[in-house]
Structure 1
Amino acid sequence: MAGMAEAAGPRALFLGGLAAVYTAAFGSLYLQIPGLYGAEGLLPAVRLLRELPGQGLWERLRGFPTLLWLCPHLGLDTEQGMELLCVLGVLGSLGALLCPSLRHCLLFALLRMFYLSLYQVGQVFLYFQWDSLLLEAGFLAVLVAPLKVLPGGTPGWQPQHGVPLWGVRWLLFRLLFQSGVVKLSSRCPTWWGLTALTHHFESQCLPTPGAWLAHQLPLWLLKLAVVATLVIEVAVPLLFLAPLRRLRLWAFYCQVLLQTLIILTGNYNFFNALTIVLCFSLLDQQHLQLWMGRARRPHGPRWPPRPGWLLARLLEVATLGALLLGTARCFGLRVHGGVLEANVAFTHHEFSSWLDTVTLPLLGVAWLSPHHEFSSWLDTVTLPLLGVAFLSLSWEILVALYR
């Protein structure tokens, strides 16, 4: 039962979703390699892999870490080496997607190594936000995924603690909060005038048929959509750090809704799909059981309610109420002529002052949020760390004695 619960838990969703993103990333890049990085491509990758006299393989790997340095030793040119890495990446990530037992930390380490090797020579075509985000999420996946020392044996590192998965949540917070803050910090008149979406759908690089439909919406509704975007990206991420699970779940659905709408109205590669995968870190086992229809039902009503339960519900209602009232006040929401109008009711200076005020407390909350998981994780790793320290000290003593 414990294995089944873990197989359907937030970690399994995150690792499976990341495997799907890796599959799309490697597969789409494979088709573009000849035109972008081949000998006749726009930016031939071989130009970045020129060997300097006197440099060995280790020096080249340390100075410019990419597995493509091994191509001459395998009888491959740079283009063929890139294609090989993409094929291996697709096979490994597809295997992890279809077979949960393959979601091993060593496999995710290999996938990240493959993508980092391609990223190093990708130049401007791989310097987008989603590429660096995939590398960071891939590093966290190595920590989240289990490690089995021997095939069929018990896991040497079982992801039973929340510290690595909380790191995924922190990455999600930084991504979305900074995305919202930069829109207002840039002083862009379209964001401050709430007119960004009146131009966005027709000026983005790869619009979808849904973008044409969205562009036909009335101005007042597009301005409200800008308000919703700013609130979901600036205010709602604060709930990621909330100790109340219902607030985190509410934040999860807000983010998934926003990312889904972006996918329907624009093509940003795997960026929005990867963001949704990061959102899985906001879920818990209890809610996933509800998704699968296996949630435990209480035996009967509990009355009077426990003080802790009542306090939690009051805090949830108060938090969501404050968020709605704050949105109405900050964006001057009012009904006029039968429509809901909005205008920014704060200045850039007021926003900057608010940002300076909340930054330090947010860091404090972020530090305190995983304290329970960190304590539990520390109890688990203390003894192995002491063993490693003892072996290291013993080695140093032996070296000193026989030097």
Structure 2
Amino acid sequence: MEWFVADDGWLGRAVLQHALAALYLVAFVAAARQGPALIGSRGLTPAPTFLRRATFAQAPNLFHRWWSDRLFLAVAWTGAALALLTLVGVPARLPLAASMAVWAVLWALYLSIVNVGQLWWSFGWETLLCEVGFLAIFLGNAAVAPPLLVLLLVRWLLFRLEFGAGLIKLRGDRCWRDLTCLHHHHETQPMPGPLSWFFHHLPGPLHKVEVAANHVTQLIVPFGLFLPQPVAGVSAGIMLVTQLWLVASGNFAWLNWLAIVLAASVLPDAVWARLLPGPVQDWLVPTQAGATPYPWVVAVVLLTVLVAVLSWRPVVNLLSPRQAMNASFEPLRLVNTYGAFGSVTKVRHEIVLEGLDTDGVWREYGFRGKPGFPGRWPRQYAPYHLRLDWLMWFAALSHRYAYPWLPRLQRRLLEADPPTLRLLAHDPFDGRRPEAVRAVLHRYRYTTWAELRTTRECWHRRPVGPFGPVVTPDSAEPDWW
């Protein structure tokens, strides 16, 4: 059974499993905290409405026959609990069948949330988590040797993630080809981080070096993943460093962290042996492998055949001049295509929501992650995903991204709806109902070094105009976008 075993993948597999459990934990907690206000029975896009028109075959999920907000929370918190147990290593010490069952339940629970999450769970990293989670079912426990085929499938996923992102840039905005996209991207990205202002003010030639290095990392380096060690490990290490750079420069939920986890699994055990203290290694790999169960071998081989067959459409998509970003070709999201920022916006617009107080003054609501008050410095939230903040960025690009949820958001603010207010960082009315709620479009830009020293504000903004009509208690249900 030598062909089946990856002798150099013990620590890499363990790092992948524990890190994936940590990201599952973040994802389930985020779903529990945000889901009721976004897709609950009184959410901005209620899941019950979606379930009435979507068949089980179109969106397999645990809520198909019965939805309740309590059931959703039970699913999310059950997933969080299982992820926590996995993080501390409990499934790795269970019998192989039980360990696989835990990973299968984690995958099924999160797939259910994604498949009813509609636009709030439509981001590429949601699908990526589902795909990695499915492969994790077949990675085995601590009592069996790492399966080479599954680790190669992990590399194939990392290849598609990086290469797809590189191709979409090369085929997309011209600024990627002339190496000028980062003159704008750090300022106009959906959710800047605490260091994004400084990245934006790097010299122009360095921005071009960043883009060129990104092209090399995404279009050339991924092919090294399928070469023998140490080339595969060096290739993965380059990707890992590049992803850490992206983590420092913005907030992209767990996209970069999942890419880091995938790349980390490719590093040979000799690298991990130098990086990790002995007790940590003993905790990650508590036992030596016993016999390799033949039913598990059969399952891994069948998985490999399945992924090979399902890879056909993602490969065709990669080769197509009309390449789609972040697309799933089947409802279980087993093998997908990825890519991001085929185009880069050059001007930043933000929607500012304001409520009218009894004294006639419009007061601004504050969001957790997206730019708002000019003096509020961006926070680091990734890998946590602030779904409302991200959708607010898309809404500012076009009204079509904002209907019907933004008018409903204004109405929920008008009602001082507690679950909705918990999505925000600042309620200027302290739970009271405003007289009216309006959305105003603003033009944002980073301040200069001189402006920062003078005003201590990282943003400069000016109003552009109203973004839809004012919503009052007498307003009809919005149907005007």
Supply the distance in 2 between the matched residues of 1:84 and 1:284 (Cα, whole angstroms). Answer: 39
Q: TM-score of the superposition, structure 2-length normalised? A: 0.53
SS at match of 2:137: helix
Higher helix share: 1
Choose which of 13, 34, 38 in structure 2 pairs with 1:11: 13
Choose which of 189, 193, 197 in structure 2 pairs with 1:208: 193
Aligned to 1:249: 233
Aligned to 2:437: none
Choose which of 163, 167, 171 in structure 1 pairs with 2:153: 167
SS at match of 1:224: helix
Is 1:264 aligned to 2:240, yes or no?
Answer: no
Number of residue pairs the alignment of both structures matches: 277
The verdict on how the C-alpha distance between 1:69 and 1:228 changes in structure 2, with shifts beyond 3 A counting, is same
Supply the distance in 2 between the matched residues of 1:130 and 1:84 (Cα, whole angstroms). Answer: 23
- Give the deviation of 1:291 after TM superposition: 2.1
**Equivalence map 1:223-302=2 (5 Å):** 223-243=208-228, 245-292=229-276
Supply the distance in 2 between the matched residues of 1:16 and 1:181 (Cα, whole angstroms). Answer: 31
Is 1:49 aligned to 2:51, yes or no?
Answer: yes
**Equivalence map 1:327-366=2 (5 Å):** none
- Give the deviation of 1:380 after TM superposition: 8.3
- Give the deviation of 1:180 after TM superposition: 0.6
- Give the deviation of 1:99 after TM superposition: 2.3
Q: For structure 2, list consecutive stretches of 5 or more residues without a partner in the other structure.
A: 1-6, 94-98, 279-291, 302-481
Choose which of 107, 114, 135 in structure 2 pairs with 1:119: 114
The verdict on how the C-alpha distance between 1:144 and 1:382 changes in structure 2, with shifts beyond 3 A counting, is closer
Q: Is the 8 A contact 1:16 1:100 kept in 2?
A: no
The verdict on how the C-alpha distance between 1:246 and 1:272 changes in structure 2, with shifts beyond 3 A counting, is same
Supply the distance in 1 between the matched residues of 2:8 and 2:225 (Cα, whole angstroms). Answer: 22
Supply the distance in 1 between the matched residues of 2:141 and 2:9 (Cα, whole angstroms). Answer: 12
The verdict on how the C-alpha distance between 1:384 and 1:136 changes in structure 2, with shifts beyond 3 A counting, is closer
Q: TM-score of the superposition, structure 1-length normalised? A: 0.63
Aligned to 1:313: none
Aligned to 1:178: 164
- Give the deviation of 1:140 after TM superposition: 0.4
- Give the deviation of 1:6 after TM superposition: 9.5
Percent of matched pairs sharing the same residue: 31
Question: Which amino acid in structure 1 is aligned with residue 105 of structure 2?
Answer: L
Is 1:91 aligned to 2:93, yes or no?
Answer: no
Is 1:82 aligned to 2:67, yes or no?
Answer: no
**Equivalence map 1:132-171=2 (5 Å):** 132-146=127-141, 158-171=144-157
Supply the distance in 1 between the matched residues of 2:187 and 2:245 (Cα, whole angstroms). Answer: 15
Supply the distance in 1 between the matched residues of 2:188 and 2:20 (Cα, whole angstroms). Answer: 30
The verdict on how the C-alpha distance between 1:384 and 1:119 changes in structure 2, with shifts beyond 3 A counting, is closer
- Give the deviation of 1:198 after TM superposition: 0.6
Once the two structures are superposed, residues 266-312 of structure 1 have per-residue CA deviations (whole angstroms, 9 ceiling, x without a partner) of: 11111111111111231222222222367xxxxxxxxxxxxxxxxxx
Superposed CA RMSD in Å reads: 2.9
The verdict on how the C-alpha distance between 1:286 and 1:258 changes in structure 2, with shifts beyond 3 A counting, is same
- Give the deviation of 1:105 after TM superposition: 1.5
SS at match of 2:77: helix
Choose which of 203, 228, 245 in structure 2 pairs with 1:218: 203
Q: For structure 1, list consecutive stretches of 5 or more residues without a partner in the other structure.
A: 53-59, 72-76, 148-154, 295-375, 386-403
Q: Is the 8 A contact 2:139 2:150 kept in 1?
A: yes
- Structure showing greater Rg: 1
Q: Is the 8 A contact 1:45 1:78 kept in 2?
A: no
